[in-house]
Amino acid sequence: MKHLTGIKELSDSDIRALLDRGHEYAEALDQGDFRSERLKGRVIVNMFLENSTRTRTSFEMAALRLNASLINWDAETSSLKKGESFGDTIRTLGAMRPDAIVIRSAEYEAPHMVAQMVECPVINAGDSWREHPSQALLDTLTLERHFKTKGLSGMTIAICGDVSHSRVAGSDMQIFTRLGAKVRVIAPPFLMPNKFPAQGIETFTSLEDGLPGCDVVMMLRNQKERMNEDLIPSDAAFHRQYGLTHERLTLANKNAVVMHPAPMNRGVEISDEVADDPQRSLIFTQMRNGVPARMAILDLLVE
């Protein structure tokens, strides 16, 4: 495992090793052990060409927790604005010999392209609508910790809403099925992908039909920056038909948990009461687990 470009490129043992190291870091952080010298002296470059709150900050937090240094390269003030090509920008950074590059880009398979141009490990922090593997690892770490299991066998997980534009769904469908879960996609027909990156996905066009029997309900934001503006004319109408409310959540299994990669659009795909339900919502736990999951990624790829 030299790079983390997608779940697709990981072997089963790579996935297990990343999750196991993630568990170790999560437990250490829970015990107040915030110091590791593991990546001391290493320099990591964060290259985010799209907006980010969680992913960018948690890669930064993870690097600092491991005692690495991190540079937040800024697209807005870079020479891309002077007309430099993306390829030349990457070659420039690569020439300075960083120990890893973390990249988020709207361009399809940008991490693969960067990996061919630099010598260091390249980590995908969000590739177009295709894959977001570090999110899939933190989602899986969150489920294994919550349900106190290794692997997800026997679980039924529904991924709901704008699946067709979601790189999180792209990676989650793969990792969840590979770890033994049954995955359902619940989406309106106009947000339903026409093909899936994993086998055996069941599809439903209403929450009422898809939620019964689910242990996990993952909601997604309507990613309007990736769709034609007229596709969802009314957020209120979307909420009435596809928003997760407490009433709808009762259709799922009794102890079903709610996830969301965030950012959330409250009152659209999810109600406040569900997002903030301390018994059912794992949303802020996911954010917490983003740090140990990314510590594991940096550790195994850079060290």
Residues 221-240 touching ligand NCD, rule: CB under 6 A, are 221, 223
- In angstroms, what is the minimal distance from the CB of 225 to ligand NCD? 9
Output the DSSP codes for 152-188: -TT-EEEEES--TT-HHHHHHHHHHHHTT-EEEEE--
Query: 3-class SS at 56?
Result: helix
Cis peptide before 263 (omega within 30 of 0): yes
- In angstroms, what is the minimal distance from the CB of 95 to ligand NCD? 29
CA dist 121 and 137 (Å) reads 17
Residues 164-193 touching ligand NCD, rule: CB under 6 A, are 167-168
Question: How far lies 242's CA from each of 36, 148, 208, 237, in Å?
Answer: 44, 30, 9, 8
Alpha helices for the chain (secondary structure H): 12-30, 54-65, 86-95, 110-117, 133-147, 167-178, 207-210, 235-242, 246-249, 272-275, 283-302
Beta carbon nearer to ligand NCD, 167 or 294: 167
Q: Select the span of 59-67, 80-88, 211-219, 258-266 touching ligand NCD (CB under 6 A).
A: 258-266
- In angstroms, what is the minimal distance from the CB of 154 to ligand NCD? 26
Do the Cβ atoms of 69 and 44 come closer than 8 Å?
yes
Beta-carbon-side half-sphere exposure of residue 93 (alpha carbons within 13 Å): 32
Beta carbon nearer to ligand NCD, 65 or 130: 130
Q: Select the span of 152-160, 207-215, 229-237, 256-264 touching ligand NCD (CB under 6 A).
A: 256-264
285 binds ligand NCD (CB under 6 A): no
Residues 188-217 touching ligand NCD, rule: CB under 6 A, are none
**How many of the other CB atoms lie within 10 Å of CB of 303?**
11
- In angstroms, what is the minimal distance from the CB of 71 to ligand NCD? 20
* Site track 46-85 with ligand NCD (rule: CB under 6 A), x = hit: --------xx------------------------------
Residues 114-133 touching ligand NCD, rule: CB under 6 A, are 126, 132
Binding region for ligand NCD (CB under 6 A): 54-55, 126, 132, 135, 167-168, 221, 223, 261-263
